Amino acid sequence: MALRVLEVTSKKLLDVFIRLQAKIHQNDPNWITPLDMERRALLDPAQNPYFEHAKAKYWLAEKDGKFVGRISAQIDEMAIKERGEPVGHFGMFACENDPDIAKTLLETAENWLREQGMTKVQGPMNLSINQEVGLMVEGFDTPSMMLMPHDQPYLQQMIKDAGYQTAVNMLAYIRDADTLFPDSLRKLAERNSGGKVVLRKLDMKRYTQEIETIVSIFNEGWHTNWGFVPMTETEVKHMGKELRPIINPELTCFAEIDGEAAGFLVCVPDVNSMLHGLDGKLLPFGWAKLLWRMKVRGPTTARVMLMGVRKKYSAGLLGQFLPFRLIYFIEAYLKKSSIEQVEMGWILEDNKPIRRLIERVGGKAYKKYQVFEKLL
């Protein structure tokens, strides 16, 4: 039977779309199935504020009566405004090891984007630059942490064979939690700086304002980064709601200069490590396992998912040392917690200053991701 592509237009097909990647990875010991409810919320315009400024289509590939692949295509008006050119995205890409399936799915996404007036496509993005980004091309021997993609090794070549070029490379670093802070950096981090810099943990009593401060610094400090799209007010509130159940104030900290928040670091327990074996479902007993892993056993991995310094401080000597001080600030808690490893990423491969910083405190690059692009 010939390969055919179906647009996802029903709840039944959406359920297939969500579950298909787990099926394709069923023999991958390092695959962790995301929660179905989380994936459904990501793809639902009624639940994901991304869709206030974006639209998307989803497709499934079927062959011989079996679903064998999936893809999405997205158009983000805010991304187009930031870039100054009509660039669309593809994402949620997964398929069996068959180049024809990959080529057909990519062409389907490209055709829709072209019809919508896009002149370039980039991806994969699930669904935006502020969610899951890139295709994993190195690091298949370990599970991926939360909000980081995990893909089949053969997809990279299939995307290249479909005419795509690499737009950007990204890295994730891993660091043992008990790694000693280098002595020279420890002295630097402990320096008082004339009382100008004050470090403090997140204040849960002011949680909403704290999240707003984080995003304010993020939008300001990351504005020149590749692919940057600012978060809207609704997305900020949504992020705060999503993070609140897992955020640990001991692992989220601010650096203040003369009473103003100048930098921040957000390190969160890695939810992915606690989802292993649940097959994406909380019922009937998955919720109990998850609760036990979170509250009793405790997380063994964590991820520094955000770190930033206000633009007006980043170029000065004081601002350049703030990241060291922020990392050092959470060291004491890490050493007494159940956390054994911390991931730091993603980091643009050409961001040499941040890479040197992470490597100086013991981080080792262990995963690599690529975003591809193609003219339409």
Do 46 and 87 lie in a common domain? yes
Summarize pLDDT for 267-290 with one digit per residue, the tens. 999 988 877 776 666 555 555 556
> How far is residue 139's CA from residue 149's CA, in Å, rounded to a whole number?
11
Do 204 and 257 lie in a common domain? yes
Do 139 and 219 lie in a common domain? no
First vs last C-alpha separation in the chain: 30
Summarize pLDDT for 34-88 with one digit per residue, the tens. 889 899 999 999 999 999 999 999 999 999 999 999 999 999 999 999 889 999 9
Domain boundary at 150, 171, 192, which?
171
Name, in order, each residue with C-beta under 8 angstroms of 101's C-beta and a sequence gap of 6 or more: 3, 61, 63, 68, 69, 95
Residue-number span of the structural domain to which 281 is assigned:
175-367
> How far is residue 105's CA from residue 96's CA, in Å, rounded to a whole number?
12
- The pLDDT score that the predictor gives to residue 104 is 97
Q: What is the pTM of this model?
A: 0.92
> How far is residue 49's CA from residue 350's CA, in Å, rounded to a whole number?
31
Do 96 and 212 lie in a common domain? no
Do 138 and 280 lie in a common domain? no
In the block, residue with structure tokens 């640990």 = 248
Classify burial at 245, counting beta carbons within 10 Å of its beta carbon; exposed 0-12, middle 13-18, buried 19 or more.
exposed
Beta strands in the chain (DSSP E): 4-7, 54-63, 66-76, 87-95, 120-123, 125-126, 132-133, 135-138, 165-176, 197-201, 252-257, 260-269, 301-309, 341-348, 364-375
Do 203 and 136 lie in a common domain? no
Do 261 and 292 lie in a common domain? yes
- The pLDDT score that the predictor gives to residue 296 is 57
